[in-house]
Amino acid sequence: MKKVEYMTGKFPFRANSRTNTNLDTKGTVKFMIEAMTDRILGVHNIDPNASEIIAEATLAVECGASSQEASNHCHPKHIQDSSLWAFSTGVVKTD
């Protein structure tokens, strides 16, 4: 099995201005991003409307999109916030 260095970005919806405006702050999205290529390896999404974001995230993974590409096209605020968190923490893991 090949070891892959990756970063994670987890972002709670309660920290998002749009979800606060809609009074829908329950949930979180987490991205696993390959450290060297910025390619999305996987996504966890826990919220009442998970199907809306997970469908878009699945498409991004299938297309080999980077976190930057996904943040421009898929629910930009949620995905952008979680990918920015991954890069700002500087935490790289090997699995």
Domains of the chain: 5-94 (3.30.390.30)
pTM (predicted TM-score): 0.67
Three-state SS across the chain? CCCCEEEEEEEEHHHCHHHHHCCCCCCEEEEEEECCCCEEEEEEEECCCHHHHHHHHHHHHHCCCEHHHHHHHCCHHHHHHHHHHHHHHCCCEEC
User: 78 or 8, which is more confident?
Assistant: 8
d(C-alpha 18, C-alpha 7), whole Å: 25
d(C-alpha 6, C-alpha 95), whole Å: 8
pLDDT (tens digit per residue) in 36-56? 998 888 888 888 777 777 888
